[in-house]
Amino acid sequence: MTPSQDLLYRLALTEVPQIGTVQARILMEYFDNAEAVFKSKKSTLEKIEGIGEMRAAAIKSFHQFKQFEKEIIFIEKYKINVLFLKDEAYPKKLLNCYDPPTLLYYKGNATLNHSKTIAIIGTRNHTEYGKQITHQLIEDLSPYEPLIISGLAAGIDALAHKRSLYHQISTIGVLGHGLDTIYPSHNKNLAKEMLQQKGGLLTEFRSGTLPDRHNFPTRNRIVAGMSDAVIVIETACKGGSMITARLAFDYHRDVFAFPGKTTDAKSEGCNQLIREQKAQLIFSGKDIAEMMGWDQQPTKVTIQKKIFDSLDKNETSIVESLEKSSSLHIDQLQLSTSLSGSILASTLLQLELKGIIRQMPGKVFILT
């Protein structure tokens, strides 16, 4: 199978009626590649839990492959990286979400699997207070060289991208439309700068997809899911920032918010998230570094052989990972050990009770 043929089937999998991101993930856990999904027998598809007879019929009756030829030409012409669920370069943190995008279109220089990834979000109509916070926050974070993610929208998003470029920090804009356009249009120059420097543009929408309103909540789950933590600068009680913050909370990401005056409408959302204990109150980027454990410099230790002898297979896998990388976020541990979320959580607890590991702020673990 040629690369173009492989891409054709991957694109098709995103367009089959009744096959959403959850079902696509189920299928790719069962089959080696997208082509195998379409070439398998209907009876085989029907037996897969979560697919069933109706979805199996939708897959077998899908023959509109020709519609993707134009998209493949666009991808090849503009050298766009198309990332599939099973690709090594696919953002690994998204795989810890139940509904990761089946396919992502990416153009840029920044790695999508950075060890420190922060989303900065907020209102489109920020105040001077919001601007000052954003500038100071990114200046505080710059020594840690994180990857800054936002939505390339007007307001706080654009400020976060611009200030990241100013401090030479990698920054990625997640779009609610295809890569053949930039919305809002006044951010075109900013998008170009991001592509020219250590940044990038990412979307799950193919070319020709317009920036319709219903696309942005879908986009927001990528911002939340790709991040270790989401920071809310300013927001009202309703809007995209609140959607992103709540998605991040549901994805078990750390959520932080800057407080504001009780009389300030643009801080109502931040204050509400803090009050509901869905966001931790912060005052600076230094708070983020402390809570995420970035300032921790644990002493490198070698676990004695007798301790290894007392560990089971899962415990040994975690300890070996931590010996290689002094400290790891829980998502990084899941990737390095390939343990399921429930098994990883219970094993980490056992290791803590044995006094072998210690949990730091921000779901980061170190050897004791």
Confidence (pLDDT) at 179: 97
pLDDT of 91 > 90? The answer is yes
Angle (deg, nearest 10), helices 313-324 and 341-353: 80
Give the CB-side neighbour count of residue 322, counting CA atoms within 13 A: 27
User: Residue 144 burial (CB < 10 Å; 0-12/13-18/19+)?
Assistant: middle
Q: Give residue 342's region: left, alpha or beta (phi > 0; psi -120 to 50).
A: alpha
pLDDT in tens, 143-181: 999 999 999 999 999 999 999 999 999 999 999 999 999
Distance CA 74, CA 33 (A): 23
Which domains are seen in the chain, by residue range? 3-77 (1.10.150), 107-291 (3.40.50.450), 305-367 (1.10.10.10)
**Could you check whether the bond before residue 91 is cis, i.e. omega within 30 degrees of 0?**
no
pLDDT in tens, 255-266: 999 999 999 999
Are 235 and 151 in contact by the 8 Å Cβ rule? The answer is no
Confidence (pLDDT) at 3: 64
pLDDT in tens, 293-330: 887 654 444 455 445 567 888 888 888 888 877 678 88
364 has which bridge partners? 329, 360
pLDDT of 82 > 90? The answer is yes
What's the whole-number mean pLDDT along residues 31-36? 92
Q: What is the pTM of this model?
A: 0.81
